[in-house]
């Protein structure tokens, strides 16, 4: 049932490498996150057996269920969907990275929860560049404050920025948004933000990850192109 996954993974890895090459970058500098949301753990297992390590989930509950099934596999789990503050404790106690920090308050909640659990995890700020009502993210004018607040967080380690650009059929339509996130990162560092807190740019999905890599993505979140179409209950 999941025989297609190893082949698709290999194809995606080749495309990642080619896109990195076009940008004068090394393929190993780009982390491929396989987004397994709505797919069963057997699909995750098939990808893991093919060498995939990093997996992404949108919802805390689904992530927890799959993590419980994968305790012996050494996989890295990324929460890439919106995180409600009342679920920060559960998320911080289970995943290795959260890509959806959108306020100082949420950052501090995640940091406290991780510290209480005796864990360290990476966090990224989701930036709302397009100001779409249907999407979450930190307003542009609040990002510097979140970066500054990260200096006091020892368990939740800020490592970069994340973006969901407006949906578009043509991957090239996303390029300006990716370029803007990279420019924002560079501006923050130029203004004094520690570079190690902004080393990652999480941007690009199944239809536009190659463009994202060309614009500097260090993490791409690919689901459908690996696992196939999602089936929502």
Give the CATH number of the domain where residue 74 resides. 3.20.20.10
Helices 41-49 and 60-69 sit at what angle, rounded to 10 degrees? 60
How far, in Å, CA of 14 to CA of 232, rounded?
A: 29
Note if the pTM is more than 0.85. yes
* pLDDT at res. 232: 54
| Beta bridge partners of residue 220, listed in sequence order | 32
Let me know if residue 44 belongs to a domain: yes
Let me know if residue 233 belongs to a domain: no
Query: Which residue range forms the structural domain that includes residue 31?
Result: 4-227
Let me know if residue 38 belongs to a domain: yes
* pLDDT at res. 71: 76
Let me know if residue 70 belongs to a domain: yes
DSSP symbols for 4-48:
HHHHHHHHHHHHHHHHHHHTT--GGGSEEEEE-TTS-HHHHHHHH
* pLDDT at res. 233: 52
Chunk the chain into consecutive blocks of 10 residues (it has 233) and report each block's average pLDDT, rounded to whole numbers: 94 98 97 96 96 97 95 90 96 97 98 97 96 88 98 98 95 98 98 98 98 98 92 56
CB 63 within 8 A of CB 87: no
Let me know if residue 131 belongs to a domain: yes
How far, in Å, CA of 133 to CA of 127, rounded?
A: 13
* pLDDT at res. 49: 95
Let me know if residue 182 belongs to a domain: yes
**Cβ partners under 8 Å of residue 28, min gap 6:** none
Let me know if residue 232 belongs to a domain: no
* pLDDT at res. 134: 76
Number of residues written out for the chain: 233
Let me know if residue 72 belongs to a domain: yes
Structural domains in the chain (count): 1
Q: In this structure, what token pair is assigned to residue 131?
A: 């100001």
């Amino acid at each position: 049932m999941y025989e297609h996954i190893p082949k698709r993974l290999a194809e995606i890895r080749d495309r990642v490498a080619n896109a990195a090459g076009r940008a004068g970058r090394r393929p190993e500098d780009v982390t491929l996150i396989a987004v397994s949301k709505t797919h069963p753990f057997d699909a995750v297992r098939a990808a893991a057996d093919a060498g995939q390590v990093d997996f992404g989930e949108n919802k805390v509950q689904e992530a927890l269920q799959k993590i419980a099934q994968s305790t012996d596999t050494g996989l890295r789990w990324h929460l890439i969907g919106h995180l409600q503050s009342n679920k920060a404790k559960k998320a911080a106690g289970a995943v290795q990275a959260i890509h959806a920090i959108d306020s100082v308050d949420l950052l501090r909640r995640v940091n406290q929860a991780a510290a209480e659990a005796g864990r360290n995890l990476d966090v990224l700020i989701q930036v709302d560049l397009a100001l779409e009502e249907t999407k979450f993210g930190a307003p542009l004018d609040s990002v510097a404050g979140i970066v500054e607040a990260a200096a006091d967080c020892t368990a939740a380690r800020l490592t970069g920025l994340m973006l969901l650009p407006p949906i578009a059929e043509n991957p090239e339509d996303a390029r300006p948004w990716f370029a803007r996130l990279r420019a924002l990162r560079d501006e923050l560092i130029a203004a004094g933000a520690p570079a190690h807190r902004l080393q990652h740019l999480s941007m690009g999905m199944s239809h536009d990850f190659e463009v994202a890599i060309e614009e500097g993505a260090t993490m791409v979140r690919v689901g459908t192109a690996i696992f196939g179409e999602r089936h929502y209950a």
